[in-house]
Structure 1
Amino acid sequence: MKFLIDQNRSPQLAELLRDAGHDAVHTSELELERAEDSELLALAADQGRVVVSGDTDFGALLAMLRASQPSVILFRARHMPRAENQAAIILDHLDDIANDLEEGAVLVITDDRIRVRHLPLISDD
């Protein structure tokens, strides 16, 4: 799977995901530390990457745009501050969430669960 790690996550998270065989890049590696969230969403969608962040603005932007891609993994867990913990939770559950991520979803990871909301978050129906 391909990941774009936002600037508010450790660059080590990208390294750990790469070590597990995934294509993961941190915004700092692309010199996009100060990029707007909309720019990161566009890049992730163009490259087929899943955005990994702690920034709730991504969900709001996806809703506003009625977008069906890219998927976002949003960490809202207080007890998973380290990159090792975040990589472990992604990797431990990837088989269960891969289809959701490929189809387009926002996954919110809290201390006790993973909540999945399929994209688009707002539909015209």
Structure 2
Amino acid sequence: MRLLLDNNLSPRLREFLEGYDVEHVRNLGMAAAPDDEVIARAEQDRRVLVSADTDFGQLLAVSGARLPSVVLLRRQSGRRVEQIADLLQRNLPQVAEDLSDGAVVVLTNDEIRVRHLPISSV
């Protein structure tokens, strides 16, 4: 799976996500890029966007887009990079098919929620 880490996540997270093709927006010169440009880059590069920013789910809902998929990490402030990596490593395999088809996946320490794209207002 190809992942794009948002600016609100440590670039060090890349080191701990074994078995994944991981880029960080900072490495792409996009540290200050607006959310819509980050989404466009994730779609262009066929990557799943990983972020703690709930605005991405909102942007996808408004646009009616089917891709890119987004993994939203909730309640992770104050967590060490290793702990966040462990959360992703344990849960990404379970939602891989959903992410491949287009989804917003919300991960907390004890819950996974999946919303398939496009997100309709009905």
Matched, 1:5 2:5: yes
Counterpart residue number, 2:14: 14
Q: For residue 6 of structure 2, what is the amino acid of its counterpart?
A: D
Q: Deviations over 1:76-102 (max 9, x none)?
A: 124772221111111112221100110
Equivalent residue number for residue 70 of structure 2: 72
- TM-score (norm: length of structure 2): 0.92
Contact in 2 for aligned 1:104/1:119 (Cα 8 Å): yes
Report whether the alignment pairs 1:30 with 2:31.
Answer: no
Give the count of matched residue pairs.
Answer: 122
Secondary structure at 1:107 match in 2: strand
RMSD of Structure 2 on Structure 1 (CA): 1.6
Residues 80 and 111 of structure 1 are in contact (CA less than 8 Å); yes or no, is this contact kept in structure 2?
A: no
Percentage of pairs with the same residue? 47
Q: In structure 1, how many angstroms separate the alpha carbons of the residues matched to 2:72 and 2:78?
A: 12
Structure 2: any 5+ residue segments left out of the alignment? none
Residue range with higher mean Cα deviation, 28-37 or 88-97 = 88-97
Question: Which secondary structure does the structure 2 equivalent of 1:8 belong to?
Answer: coil
Aligned to 1:11, the other structure's residue is in SS state: coil
2-structure distance, mates of 1:98, 1:63 = 20
Look up the equivalent residue of 1:7 and give its one-letter code: N
SS for the counterpart of 1:33 is: coil
Which residue is equivalent to 1:49? 47
Out of 49, 59, 62, which is 1:61 matched to?
Answer: 59
**Structure-2 separation of matches of 1:83 and 1:65:** 31
Q: Deviations over 1:97-116 (max 9, x none)?
A: 10011001111112320111
Aligned partners of 1:119, 1:97: CA distance in 2, in Å? 14
